[in-house]
A and B are shown apart, each in its own frame.
Chain A
Amino acid sequence: GAVVSQHPSRVICKSGTSVKIECRSLDFQATTMFWYRQFPKKSLMLMATSNEGSKATYEQGVEKDKFLINHASLTLSTLTVTSAHPEDSSFYICSASGERVQETQYFGPGTRLLVL
């Protein structure tokens, strides 16, 4: 199957700092990557869609200056949570789709962010 990795798996940071999360497709080229966040016992909420080499498309209500997304290559996308606050604490999950896995999204293992 298609493998997506995510790093770090868990991060604890102080309020006001920035946190970068990496998402990599390991065995396929991901033309599109998606970033979600999930609160406990809630569904996945799509934050943004990123295509390699172009600006990310953000969902309504998601601040693009706060959640910076870069999709620099066909195997790597990064999400940077800038000036994190406690309310940004959540489970952030990326997924990827591409030529080999058209229409289907494969998820990374997620990053648990705790902002103190």
Chain B
Amino acid sequence: RKEVEQDPGPFNVPEGATVAFNCTYSNSASQSFFWYRQDCRKEPKLLMSVYSSGNEDGRFTAQLNRASQYISLLIRDSKLSDSATYLCAVNPRESSGDKLTFGTGTRLAVRP
């Protein structure tokens, strides 16, 4: 089983739709979780950290489910500009320091 797994998509949604992505991780001792956004031929950019209590930033909501070992990202009222690949990242072990393991990414395409 991969350390971090994501559905590659693509998710094709109309503008205004709500879309959710999940990301599963295999190591139950994982400490930190993040969502990054990567545009085509660009570097990943931090979208948000994922906290145990869940967190929200505008149209974006991230949640952590430790029991089932997954994190989720919910995007409400999708915009055309949300089209990108969304990468989840997990710090798998406390001893690994700041090392992150990335999923392969989920591609989102928002259509007019």
A: which residues have CB within 8 A of B? 1, 32, 34, 42-44, 46, 49, 91, 93, 97, 102-110, 112
Contact = CB atoms under 8 A, between A and B. Distances in A.
B46 A104 contact: yes
B105 A106 contact: no
Contacts, number: 46
Given A42-B104, A103-B98, A109 B42 contact: yes
Contacts of B26: none
A78 to B, nearest CB: 18
Contacts of A104: 34, 46, 49
Given A1-B46, A44-B87, A104-B46, 12 more contacts: A32-B97, A42-B104, A44-B44, A46-B100, A49-B99, A93-B44, A102-B98, A103-B31, A103-B91, A104-B34, A105-B89, A112-B41
Contact residues on B (Cβ < 8 Å of other chain), bracket: 20 to 34
A44 B46 contact: no
B57 interface: no
A84 B49 CA distance: 37
B98 A97 contact: yes
A43 B105 contact: yes
A98 to B, nearest CB: 9
Interface in B16-42: 31-32, 34, 41-42
11 contacts: A1-B46, A32-B97, A32-B98, A34-B99, A42-B104, A43-B104, A46-B102, A49-B97, A103-B31, A103-B32, A110-B43
